[in-house]
DNA sequence: TTATTTTAAGACAATAACGTCTTCTATTAA
DNA sequence: TTAATAGAAGACGTTATTGTCTTAAAATAA
């Protein structure tokens, strides 16, 4: 899997927050979000804590509490979220997992993969929450996980 | 991680076999391979069994035993090996893991990822064991894992 | 101030990936 | 035929990821 489950949940939740919070200065309830996205509440909470720690979200406890974006969704890229949750390894590490792989001592697929992973990085960096959220509305795209997760 | 560890080990081992077996009609010892590549013998054995079951390698028990390619290394792509070990999911599944993601009911990053993963597939399919093995020799590239695996 | 709501934090459990070990079977060579 | 070699198969253990549950802390509203 390219992205961890935590990371995909974090992306879906961030898109949800971007959409919900658009014209309201309100915190988005994690409980409601977990219900609508079909993600375990406690698990989602833990993931979102990573996003608050990296200053992508702010949270508020108590009634009317929840999470909100720290800045405009135009200023948050999908790359920000991926790195906050999964770390930068996907965009820096050797495909074959060889430590020290690089220009000096490349692995057999170093060059090819270096290009591919840079493309991937550009793709994530080129899409903001605003862009993506707009696409979601424009094309009525899905965010939620299906009830049955069996494949 | 894009490829599982099993898969990267399988790729490294396949390259080793391609190199060792080039001018010899001999089976390549798994024990020797595991020593030189710094991969656990038993673990590597299990991985290579997937490659024998998918008809990429043949094995022989007993003295002078080991594994060998079933066909010329020009006819084996890295994609063959990746799919044999990790399965085709990387090249077919939604980045966000949404079952049923596709043209009809795409996820927010469907189109972008569909392109990226196709590029990735083409990259793996475009490199044969022969190509890659040639690169390894031409540029004296590394195959083995370092002694310390701590990062 | 007190009760209620809601996130934070951390313990704990389930699952899957990774890795090790033992036993079995097939092959070679003496 | 027998002993030694080497892969096959499967049991078992370890680690990381995923998921659940309980308790604590903070904010709101009465």
pLDDT of residue B145: 78
Q: Which residue has the higher pLDDT, B130 or B23?
A: B130
- The region, left, alpha or beta by phi > 0 then psi within -120 to 50, assigned to residue B27 is beta
The pLDDT-based confidence of B142 (bands split at 50, 70, 90) is confident
- The answer, as to whether pTM is greater than 0.85, is yes
Q: Which residue is nearest to nucleotide D7 (CA to C1')?
A: B61
pLDDT of residue B151: 30
Q: Which residue stretches of chain A have pLDDT < 50? A: 148-151
The pLDDT-based confidence of B23 (bands split at 50, 70, 90) is low
Q: In degrees rounded to 5, what are phi and psi of residue A6? A: -55, -40
pLDDT of residue A102: 84
pLDDT of residue B21: 80
pLDDT of residue A147: 66
The SS3 call for residue B68 is: strand
The SS3 call for residue A72 is: coil
Closest-lying nucleotide for A31 based on CA to C1': C6
Cβ contact A5 with chain D strand, < 7 A: yes
Provide, as residue numbers in chain B, all residues whose Cβ is less than 8 Å from the Cβ of A2.
2, 90, 95
Closest-lying nucleotide for B59 based on CA to C1': D7
Which residue in the block uniquely carries the two structure tokens 């309201």?
Answer: A24
Q: For residues B22 and B55, is the Cβ–Cβ distance under 8 A?
A: no
pLDDT of residue A149: 35
The pLDDT tens digits for B44-103 are: 999 999 999 999 999 999 999 999 999 999 999 999 999 999 999 999 998 887 777 888
Residues in B lying within 8 Å of A, measured between beta carbons = 1-3, 5, 8, 11-12, 15, 78, 89-90, 95-101, 105-110, 112-113, 116, 119-120, 123, 127, 132-133, 135-136, 139, 141-143, 145-146, 149, 151
Element containing residue B31 per DSSP (H, E) = helix B30-37
pLDDT of residue B82: 97
The pLDDT tens digits for A74-84 are: 999 999 999 99
Distance (Å, whole) CA A134 – CA B11: 41
Closest-lying nucleotide for A97 based on CA to C1': C18
How far apart are the CA of A63 and the nearest CA of chain B, in angstroms?
A: 31
The SS3 call for residue B145 is: coil
pLDDT of residue A22: 77
């Amino acid at each position: 899997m390219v992205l961890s489950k935590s990371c995909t949940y974090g992306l879906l939740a961030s898109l949800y927050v971007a959409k919900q919070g658009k014209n309201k200065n309100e915190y988005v309830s994690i409980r409601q979000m977990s219900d609508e996205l079909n993600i375990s509440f406690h698990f989602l909470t833990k993931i979102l804590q990573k996003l608050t720690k990296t200053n992508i979200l702010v949270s508020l406890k108590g009634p009317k509490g929840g999470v909100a974006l720290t800045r405009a969704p135009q200023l948050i890229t999908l790359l920000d979220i991926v790195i906050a949750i999964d770390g930068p390894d996907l965009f820096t590490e050797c495909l074959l997992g060889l430590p020290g792989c690089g220009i000096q001592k490349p692995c057999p697929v170093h060059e090819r993969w270096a290009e591919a992973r840079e493309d991937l990085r550009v793709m994530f960096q080129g899409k903001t929450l605003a862009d993506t959220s707009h696409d979601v509305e424009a094309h009525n795209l899905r965010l939620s996980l299906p009830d049955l997760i069996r494949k």
